[in-house]
Amino acid sequence: MSTRTAIIVTAVIILAAVAVSAYAYPLLPARIASHWGADGQANGTMGKFWGLFLLPLIMLLCAALFFVLPKVDPLKENIALFRKYYDAFIILLMLFFLYLHGATVAWNLGYRFNFSRILAPAFGVLWLSLGIMLPHLKRNWFIGIRTPWTLSSDRVWNATHRLGSTLFKVSGAAALAGIFFADISIWLMLVPIIVSAIVPVIYSYVLYRNEHRPTGA
């Protein structure tokens, strides 16, 4: 898939989100549910306009940022080596937002479901896709597990991203398990991914320290 195709597909997804909002706007009251608790039930509201159009706006801003970053990265030639994975992830992220938006609108139109359980497959696929993408990333300033130690060493970068790949895949599997365990689905989505974000940072430091340990130390 070319970047041009990815931009077109992303634009179509964002327009679909706007269309959903436009369809629902005359059907909904002045305030709509916009936040759900760990139990999967609504516990917060927002004015209808922002409740329906904030997420499409976030999608637009995120897409613009993601497509601009590779152009300004000093190591853009490295990004070119994994660009197809990056573009595919942008599309997947936009589909994730569209799914979230659709679930929000459906709830406000009167459909009732456990919101945490509904989100479990979306987060599971998102974390799994990150796990698939990570080992293909090359050193750059904006995309991936960027610590002072991964940015200073290709060896540390590659090893850290291999570990991150495994952890994110495990996090994805845990999130998917939330489909069957609704009572704890929010924790299955969040706790493993928090661990997956912290452990590679520590790991990259340990690797770098060992790599640069003085001979005979």
Is 126 in the same domain as 213? yes
Task: Please calculate the CA angle 87-89-91 and round it to the nearest 5 degrees.
Answer: 75
Give residue 13's domain range.
1-112
Do residues 79 and 175 both lie within one domain?
no
Summarize pLDDT for 32-77 with one digit per residue, the tens: 998 888 777 888 889 999 999 999 999 999 999 999 999 999 999 9
Q: Kindly state whether residues 118 and 216 are assigned to the same domain.
A: yes
Render pLDDT for 105-116 as a digit per residue (tens, 0 to 9): 999 999 988 888
d(CA 116, CA 122) in angstroms, rounded, equals: 10
**Three-class SS of 89-125:** HHHHHHHHHHHHHHHHHHHHCCCCCCHHHHHHHHHHH
**Co-location of 32 and 3 in the same domain:** yes
Which of residues 67, 90, 112 is at a domain's end?
112
* Pair 38, 119: CB distance under 8 Å: no
Q: Closest Cα partner for 147 from 167, 166, 126, 161?
A: 161
Residues 108 and 120 in one domain: no
> Does residue 192 share a domain with residue 152?
yes
pTM (2 d.p.): 0.91
Same domain flag for 17 and 99:
yes
Averaged pLDDT for residues 196-216: 88
Q: Same domain, yes or no, for 152 and 167?
A: yes
Return the ∠ at Cα 61 (arms to 60 and 63), rounded to 5°. Answer: 65
Same domain, residue pair 80 and 175? no
Q: Which residues contact 192 (CB under 8 A, 6 or more apart)?
A: 127, 167, 170, 171, 174, 175
- Domain stop point among 81, 112, 143: 112
How many domains does the structure of the chain reveal?
A: 2
Please count the other Cβ atoms lying within 10 Å of the Cβ belonging to residue 53. 16
64 and 12 together in one domain:
yes
Tell which of 94, 112, 130 closes a domain: 112
Q: How far apart are CA 28 and CA 126, in angstroms?
A: 30
- Compute the Cα dihedral for 48, 123, 144, 79 and give only its sign: negative
Same domain, 95 and 46: yes
> Tens digits of per-residue pLDDT, 168-204?
999 999 999 999 988 889 899 999 999 999 999 999 9
**pLDDT reported for residue 77:** 96
